[in-house]
Structure 1
C-alpha cells in the first residue's frame, strides 16, 4: 500500500523526470499492441482510457497506456523518455484532465505531437460547484464515459476514415453495455436512495451520487487524504464515529493509495461490522472497463444489502 503522501507530476517536473529516466524508461507502462496491421495509434494516460479506446478501436488500433500497473499510484507517476516518444507518434491522445494527469500536457509540449487530444473532464462538461473543487474522477461517471466513447470514435474515424464505420459500431456496442450498468445503478438508487456511506477519497463519488447515496464523510477528511495532508484530529474522530456508531451503510475505500489514517478508518469499519467496498483508480489485472465497473457496482449493492 502507498503512503498518503502524494504528488502530481506536472510542469517542469515531468520534463526533468523524462531526462532522468532516459536510459531506463522507468515509470512507463504499455498495453500490448493490438494484433494485425493497426492503422491508428492511441496513447492514454491510464489503462482506464486505454481500454475504452481498445474496445472502440479493436484490431485497427494500437493502444499504449502510461499507467497500467494496479499497484501504481497515478498521482506519483514519473514520466519517462519512452512516454514522450509514444506521444510523438500518436494520432490520438486521451488524458483525464482536471489536474489529474498534468504530465501528459507537459510531455506533449516537448514531443512535437500533432495528435488530437481528448480531455475527459472537458468532454464530460463537469465543472467545480460554487466554492468547491472539481472532482476530476470522471471515469466513475457512466454518462461521461459514454460521451467520451463518441469522441474517441470520431477521433479514430478521422485518423483512419476507412474504418470509421467499425469505430462507430464498436462505440455503440460499448455504450449499450454502459446503459446496462446504468440500469443496475438505478436499481440501487430505487432501493437505497438516501442511505449514508463514508469514503476515504472522492474517487467513486460520481458513482455513489448516481446510486442516490449520501456521502456522510467530513469534507475535511477526504480533502486531506487526497492532498496527502494529515487529517485534523477532530475530523478524524468525527469520521471514525460514523463507523463505530454504524451511521453509514458502507465505507468505500480507495485501495490504491493509503496511509496510517485511512488504514485506521478501514480497521474501524471492519471492527464495527461496516462493509468495506474497495475501489481503485486504474483497471485491475485481467479486467476491462465494463467488467471492472460491473464488479464495483455489484460490491456496492452487496454491501448495502
Structure 2
C-alpha cells in the first residue's frame, strides 16, 4: 500500500531536531560500549541481529502487521534511537522514507537495501521478497560492521557465514519452486509478492489492477471485467491477496476467486509474529507450490 503522510513525516523530523537539540545525540561526545543499530523493519532487524550477535545493539522500529510503514509516525523515543545510532538499515525506494530522512538528519551511515539491489525508481519497492535480498544484506552487514567495529570483525564474519548457511534451505526451495512456477499465470490484489514470483518464472496478470489498488485508486472497469473473466475461466493458478489493504473492489475480487475455487494466498507486507524471515518465506513458497499440485 502506498500512502504518504507528509505531516507525520515533518513532525518526525522535528522530533529528531529536538532530540539533537536536547543533547540526545551523543555520538560525538562519548564512545558507546557497543555499536547502536536501528533497522526500520523487522525482517531487516532480524538479519542485522543475526550478524551483530552480542557485539552490537539492534533496535527494530516496525515489527507488527498492524502498522503500515508508509503511514508510520515516529515518536520522540524513536527519534532518540536514530539520534544515537551508529548505523541505520532500511528499505529505501520510497517505502520507509521517514527512516531515510532521519538518518540524513543526524548524518548516520546507512545500509539501504534498494541500493544493494540496484533498485530503479518506479520498480517494485517490496524488496524483502527479492530472492537475493537476504544474502546481499548479510554480506553488506558483515562489511559495514567489521569497518565500524574492527575488534569484532572475525565474529561478524563467522555469524554472517552461519546465517548464509541457514539461508541454504530457502535457496534450495526457491530453486525447486522455479521449476514449478515457470510460465504459471496468477492474479494479485497488490504487487506485494511479485518480487518473488516473477523472479521464479511466474507471470502476473492484470498488473494495472494491482497497481491501482496499491495506489488506492479504483481499477479500470475493463480490468475488473477481465479479472472476473480470468477467474471464471480458471485461467490463473492462484490469487495473491494482501489482507492489510482491502476495499469493496478487492473483497469482490477475492469472493469471486473463492466462488470459482481459485486458491487465494494471503501475503502481508510485514512479517507475521512468532516466526523468522526464513520460515516466513519458506511457508509462503510452500503454500504457492501446494496450489500447483
How far is 1:144 from its partner? 2.6
Q: Which residue of 2 aligns with 1:120?
A: 113
What residue number does 1:303 align with? 291
SS at match of 1:103: helix
Q: 2:61 is matched with which residue? A: 66
| Aligned residue in 2 for 1:288 | 276
Query: Is 1:7 aligned with 2:23?
Result: no
Cross-structure match for 1:155: 144
Equivalent residue for 1:41, pick from 16, 21, 36: 36
Partner of 1:253: 241
C-alpha change, 1:125 and 1:21, in structure 2 (3 Å) is: closer
Partner of 2:165: 176
What SS does the aligned partner of 2:191 have? coil
> Does the 8 Å CA contact 2:131/2:174 hold for their aligned counterparts?
no
**TM-score, length basis structure 1:** 0.84
Could you tell me which runs of 5 or more consecutive residues in structure 2 were left unpaired when the two chains were aligned.
Answer: 18-31
Residue-by-residue CA offset, 1:168-223 (whole Å, 9 max, x unaligned) = 1222222233233122122122133111111111211121023211111x122111
Mapped to 1, the partners of 2:131 and 2:181 lie a distance apart of: 19
Find the aligned partners of 1:116 and 1:106 in 2 and give their Cα distance: 12
The answer on whether the counterparts of 1:9 and 1:103 sit within 8 Å (CA) in structure 2 is no
Instruction: State the SS of the aligned residue for 1:300.
Output: helix
Matches of 1:284 and 1:254, distance apart in 2: 13
Quick one: distance in 1 between partners of 2:71 and 2:260?
A: 32
User: In the TM superposition, what whole-angstrom CA distance separates every residue of 1:97-136 from its partner, at most 9, and x where no partner exists?
Assistant: 11111111222344x24x32011011112325xxxx2111
Partner residue of 1:239 out of 227, 231, 239 = 227
Map 1:80-159 to 2 at 5 A: 80-110=75-105, 112-113=106-107, 115-127=108-120, 133-159=122-148
Question: 1:241 aligns to what SS in structure 2?
Answer: helix
Secondary structure at the counterpart of residue 203 of structure 1? helix
Shift of 1:13: 4.1
Alignment of 1:274 onto 2:262: yes
CA distance in 1, matches of 2:135, 2:33: 24
Moved more, 154-163 or 43-52: 154-163
Does structure 2 retain, via aligned residues, the 8 Å contact 1:277–1:303? Answer: no
Query: How far did 1:251 drift?
Result: 0.6
Runs in 1 of length 4+ with deviation above 4 angstroms? 17-22
Post-superposition shift, 1:18?
5.9
Q: TM-score, normalised by structure 2?
A: 0.88
Query: What secondary structure is seen at the aligned counterpart in 1 of 2:40?
Result: strand
Q: Contact (CA 8 Å) 2:191, 2:207: kept in 1 or not?
A: no
Counterpart CA distance in 1 for 2:15 and 2:248 is 31
What is the SS of the residue equivalent to 1:277? Answer: strand
* CA distance, structure 1, for counterparts of residue 211 and residue 34 of structure 2: 43
Q: What CA distance in whole angstroms lies between the structure 1 residues aligned with 2:50 and 2:229?
A: 43
CA separation in 1, counterparts of 2:78 and 2:179? 45
Worse-matched range after superposition: 86-95 or 202-211: 202-211
Q: CA deviation at 1:73?
A: 1.7
- Count, aligned residues: 279
Q: How far apart are 1:17 and its partner, in Å?
A: 4.7
Kindly provide the CA deviation profile for residues 239-292 of structure 1, in whole angstroms up to 9, marking residues without a partner as x: 222222211111111122222222222211111111111111111111111111
Partner secondary structure for residue 136 of structure 1 = coil
